[in-house]
Structure 1
Amino acid sequence: MSLCRLQSPVVTSMSSRVLSRRAMMRAGFASTATSEPRSAPSTRYLKATHDLSTAPKSSVTSSTLALGEQYILGVYARPPFVLSHGRGSWVWDTEDRKFLDFSAGIAVNALGHADPGVAEVLQQQASTLLHTSNVYHNQRAPKLAELIVSRTQEQGGLGFATGSSPSTTGAKVFFSNSGTEANEGALKIARKVGKDRWAAATGGKADDPYCTKTRIVCFENSFHGRSMGALSVTSTEKYQAPFRPLIPGVDVGTLNDHESLSRLISDDTCVVIVEPVQGEGGVTAADEAWLRALRKRCDETGAVLIYDEIQCGLYRTGSLWAHSSLPVDCHPDIVTMAKPLANGYPIGAVLMRDSIASTMTAGTHGTTFGGSPLACAVGHHVLSRLSSPAFVDNVKEISAYLDSRLGYLVQWFPDLIHDKIRGRGLLRGLGFKNVAHPGQVMQLARERGVLVLTAGKDAVRLVPSLNVSKDEVDVAIDVLEACLTVLRG
């Protein structure tokens, strides 16, 4: 079957929702979707439905766990079960237990698991041209780059107001293999721009070892990756401590702190990197007024402003970029992206204004695998579907419904959680007053068949697939209500 015969985004999304309702009923998960006011938390899941404490019954489970312990580097603290397959927002393990996945591979599986359209693109492109390296051109990378730029011009971001006319100039894309690599590339590009600007201002040379415009600014509770450069701007003690000394010349500020910006960002600052909505660090959003002040300070000092939208971008908050709906005086020079772009196939990208891209010439940066025909074919398919008006409208509708359900938690459990639900769209966080509770809630939810994440020191993070249904939202929140009731005792 050719790519032009793939199901439309709307049809595929509707089919997935029908499938999920039937699957929920077969597995004993009841649908409670309703617009009626609620008077009390759900009690349906007070008792655990998934016994994860007993020894595996399947030899496949036990042998897989043993093999992993023997041969895989032990850097992950994982629960003792093995996922085998998925469909939509659901996954099954090798013990045939079913879980509602409200983690989506850490905000990656925008179209859920085993999406038929994604699977077909993978099969067709892999059987045609899988890898070429960047020594040669391929047809897929330019088309995905064009789509990223044109959607940004149309829907807002990177200095383009919503509704800007598509043009042949304005932005460039560099493809990488992951979010970490995208941030590494963005930092390198910004460092080079800083040197160029220093040379222009002083009459010196960009490669002068005495160039002072090299400092980097990041913010507390940030997460930008685990390689040495990205780790150096991931200002979280547990990630950095084992690997110091890190890259020097990094200054750390506080998100939404206006008063410190003039001291934090100086003429020696070459780049500022920030997440418009922090994901890993606690699902904390940057204020519009603060982002405007940050942009202004970067302009005053000639610093490049990077928005890391690896987790909050690509419709996770209900718009293309988390900053798309903001005025252009809040926009960055560079946007980094990765997680949902190819629905789980590894890809990352750096989107930058032409004025930034002009510093980079042949040989100044590169990658062997980045921008492969396969990754870009899948990315083009996924982004085309995510950006369709019907899909975006559905994300907004489901986001509003999720928000309404979460609002009851604030009313019913004020002794456990803070009075404001964090984040936007389908990137939401419950802040807990006791920092021990997020981990406990994650475990309690898992024992009731729902997979959620923690974030920062005090939050439970909800990042479902972007085509999640209202029925699935109800299951997840019913389980959370039961978990909080159990936690309260």
Structure 2
Amino acid sequence: MSLRLLTRSIPRSSKFSSRSIAFTAAPARASFSTSSSSSYASPALAQQSTENNNNDMPAPTRSAAQWSDFGRDHVCHGLGRLKDHVIVRGDGLDLYTAEGKKLLDFTAGIGVTNLGHCHPHVSQAAAAQVNNLVHLQCSISFHAPYLQLIEKLLPAMPHESLDQFFFWNSGSEAVEAAIKLARQATGRQNLIVFNGAYHGRTMGSGALTRSKPIYTQGTGPLMPGVFSTAFPYWHSLGVNPSTSEEELVRLAEHQLDLILRQQTAPKDVAAIFIEPVQGEGGYVACPPAFLKHLRQVCDKHGILLVIDEVQSGFFRTGSYFAIDQLAPELRPDVLVFAKGVANGFPISGIASNKDLMSKLDVGSMGGTYSGNAVACAAGVAAQEVYQSGEIEKNVAARGAELTDYLRKIADSPKTKHLVAEVRTMGLMSSIEFRIPTDPLTLEGVPQGTNVPKNIGKRVQEYCLDRDLMVLTTSCFDTIRFIPALTVSQEQIKTAMDIFTAAVENVAREG
């Protein structure tokens, strides 16, 4: 079959679908029945049709509560959870538990399901691929979806020099691939990362992670040759939140210079890894001037600049990649991506230029499932939705609304004494709360003001009790908002009404 025959177009429809969900519980199992009451409004923002779906648990031998008990008993203790719900279905921003509870999901699988759970165009493409070719190991031959995904991604790259790709499964693996490429291409070992960075939790990528020790504690020694320096963020530099961006950049540049003068010679550095918007670091955007400075430093010393857009890519910040906005002319040597590329199907990758990629030994890259055909087909379909233009428009509108709600919380006489900072970029938004033992976060708070402990956790618990799923992030007291990019104005309002009430409740309780 030709590549052309495998291409798809987004189904044309007229309205969002809305449906009522009825829950029927039996002693041994739980099941859903659905009815659709309207058609799609926009192909890009459409939600999955659920008619005739089988949403039962895999076996009829346990109740929902028994399945939860089974999970607590047999799932690895090292895996944490917000709640012990058993989720049986996802539809757009809605998740449904085995008990029939509907949850409003503002986590998107930690920034993965950018198009919402079970987006019809992506799901249909994956289903079609399952009946065509499920898997062909990438070292054996090309397969059509792999090549088609590259074709779709090429025009989306933040720089035209990024013209060769390698696909893997997870963000951590993609970072591992970038490490291998940087070291082989330069013949150097050392790597520089930033305080607050999250690049994964495998042994190589975990050595680059600097957001929290939990990801690697007790597993050392980690990969050697990694040096960490300050990100241009007031926490990282130990200055007040009101410090100007210009001063933050100056201080961060100074710290990087000290690394290169005191800890590792530039000629020993293979690459500098940076997230243009730190994820686990608190959703902190890097000032454009600092990104440009990094490019200059790398060019001067023959160091590769690796841009990690695992969480910030695929319109999460309002553009295909965050650096499209922050530094449009910036040339990454390597781009790392994952999460939103296939809307929940496991695929990640790196993009670089032919000259660097040619320095890899043939056979040095690979992996049993890397570039899986079904995941690639889902990725192709996801790019078709992204490239329709509808997602970009929705992120701009909904991101502005979300920002407005967060600013009102930060400015309200009821709650402003709880808020240290609001940070937003598209639909990658966060609100950082004050910590009574952290003087930096207390800037501007009148002496004697009661600032409670654990504000973020308390707010999160209030939201979860009211069926809104939100996540904390960073080692500071921060809640992040990462809804699907198909989120509606009504869903933003519903979520932020709950969230505002939660913050006000903590303020009252003290």
The TM-score bracket by the shorter chain reads 0.7 to 0.9
The CA deviation string for residues 185-236 of structure 1, in whole angstroms up to 9 with x for no partner, is 01100111121xxxxxxxxxxxxxxxxx311111111111111000000013
1-side partners of 2:327 and 2:108: how far apart?
30
Q: Are the aligned partners of 1:262 and 1:297 in contact in 2 as well (CA < 8 Å)?
A: no
Indicate which of 180, 194, 201 corresponds to 1:188.
180
Which residue in 2 is equivalent to 1:141? 146
Counterpart-to-counterpart distance in 2, 1:86 and 1:258 = 45
Mapped contact 1:320–1:387 kept (Cα < 8 A) = no
Percent identical pairs in the alignment equals: 29
Q: Tell me the CA shift for residue 423 of structure 1.
A: 3.5
Q: Does 2:204 correspond to 1:229?
A: yes
Q: Distance in 1 between matches of 2:424 and 2:331?
A: 19
Any unmatched runs of 5+ in structure 1? Answer: 24-57, 161-168, 196-212
Number of equivalent positions:
418
Q: Which residue of 1 aligns with 2:70?
A: 67
Check if 1:176 corresponds to 2:168.
yes
CA contact (8 A) 1:3 1:121 kept: no
| Secondary structure of residue in 2 paired with 1:473 | helix
What is the aligned partner in structure 2 of residue 86 from structure 1?
90
* Aligned equivalent of 1:126, options 130, 133, 140: 130
| Alignment CA distance shift 1:3-1:294 (3 Å) | closer
- In the alignment, the residues of structure 1 paired with residue 227 and residue 488 of structure 2 have an alpha-carbon distance, to the nearest angstrom, of 42
Note the alpha carbon deviations across 1:28-55, whole angstroms, 9 max, x for none: xxxxxxxxxxxxxxxxxxxxxxxxxxxx
Asked if 1:264 is matched to 2:276, the reply is: no
What secondary structure sits across from 2:63 in the alignment?
helix
Residues 1:229 and 1:5: Cα distance change in structure 2 (over 3 Å): closer
Residues 326 and 221 of structure 1, relative CA distance in 2, 3 Å threshold: closer
Q: Distance in 1 between matches of 2:259 and 2:387?
A: 37
Structure 2 distance, partners of 1:421, 1:251, is 29
- Give the direction of change, closer, same or farther, for the CA distance of 1:465–1:409 in structure 2 (3 Å limit): same
1:170 and 1:309 map into 2 onto residues whose CA distance is 14
Tell me which amino acid in the other structure corresponds to 2:152: L
Alignment partner of 2:459 out of 441, 448, 451? 441
Q: Over aligned residues, Cα RMSD in angstroms?
A: 2.0
Give the TM-score normalised by the residue count of structure 1: 0.82
Partner SS for 2:199: coil
1:5 deviates by: 6.2
Letter in 2 for 1:264: I
The match for 2:423 is 422
Corresponding letter in the other structure for 2:192: V
Deviations 1:409-459 (A, max 9, x none): 1111211112x3113110101001036221221111011111000010210
Select the structure with the greater relative contact order (CA < 8 A; seq sep ≥ 6): 1
CA distance in 1, matches of 2:496, 2:331: 34
Match of 2:408 in 1: 408
TM (norm. structure 2) is: 0.78
Q: Find the counterpart in structure 2 of residue 301 from structure 1.
A: 301
User: After superposition, what is the alpha-carbon deviation per residue over 1:156-193, rounded to whole angstroms, capped at 9, x for unaligned?
Assistant: x13x4xxxxxxxx7511100011111100011001111
Match in the other structure for 1:342: 342
After alignment, is 365-374 or 222-231 more displaced? 365-374
| Pairing of 1:76-475 with structure 2 (within 5 A) | 76-78=79-81, 79-134=83-138, 135-152=140-157, 157-158=158-159, 160=160, 170-195=162-187, 213-235=188-210, 236-256=212-232, 257-265=252-260, 266-327=266-327, 330-412=330-412, 413-418=415-420, 420-434=421-435, 436-457=454-475, 458-475=477-494
Structure 2: tracts of 5 or more residues without a match: 22-60, 233-251, 261-265, 436-452
The structural deviation recorded for 1:397 is 1.5
- Residue type of the alignment partner of 1:415: H
Return the alpha-carbon distance in structure 1 between the equivalents of residues 148 and 91 of structure 2.
28
Contact 1:295 1:329 survives alignment (8 Å): no
User: For residues 396 and 357 of structure 1, do their structure 2 counterparts lie closer, same or farther at Cα, with a shift above 3 Å needed?
Assistant: same
Distance of 2:62 and 2:504 partners within structure 1: 36
Once the two structures are overlaid, the 10-residue window that deviates more, 132-141 or 391-400, is: 391-400
Counterpart for residue 507 of structure 2: 488
What SS does the corresponding residue of 2:192 show, helix, strand or coil? strand
